[in-house]
Amino acid sequence: MSTNQYQEMRNRQQAEVNAFPMFFAFNKQQFAEGMRKLGLSPSDTRQVCSIFGGGYCRKSDVAKLNEMFTRHRKELEDAIVGDKTGQGFICDMFLQELENHEYSYTGDVQETLDALGITAQYMEAVPQLLDGLALACEKAMQHDCFD
């Protein structure tokens, strides 16, 4: 079985996100535990800021967090541009996300495109995206849930 280049990239990026000094909290106890994880007292609220989805990090780390996500996006875009036919990385990317968003059940690619941040304009600007999407859709429909 061939290696999914997109999944390898996502795993690498996820490990970096997991190691980043931030936490998610949805109640006071989780917030206090998260603050201690950052080496802060739960009362040191002026030293942290809310990020996305219930997340928090030190204010001093916001620039590093933004840089990390910008770098991750650039890595994705570079890999897309580097796949001149759409049959390598792009197909892997779409196939992985089509499966994550139950394409074989729904037949709808929009959630996949949204998850990847791919717009119609981007699809037009990078024509191999359409080729890779078509190939991935075909493969997704051929996959058997008992593989």
pLDDT tens by residue, 11-25: 999 999 999 999 999
pLDDT mean across residues, the chain: 94
Q: Do residues 87 and 62 both lie within one domain?
A: no
106 lies in which domain range?
A: 83-146
Full-model pTM:
0.84
Amino acid at 35: M
Domain count, the chain: 2
91, 93, 94, 95: CA torsion to nearest 10? 80
- Domain closes at, from 42, 69, 96: 69
Do 115 and 139 have their domain in common?
yes
Using CA atoms, how far apart are residues 90 and 110, in angstroms rounded to an integer?
16
Decide if 78 is inside a domain: no
* 3-state secondary structure at position 24: strand
Helix H or strand E segment including 22: strand 22-24
> How much helix, strand and coil, in percent to the nearest 5, is found in the chain?
65, 5, 30
User: Is the predicted pLDDT of residue 2 greater than 90, yes or no?
Assistant: no
Query: Among residues of the chain, what percentage have pLDDT more than 70?
Result: 96
Residue 94 and residue 61 share a domain: no
Q: Are residues 61 and 121 in the same domain?
A: no
Q: What pLDDT, in 10s, does the model give residues 78-94?
A: 999 999 999 999 999 99
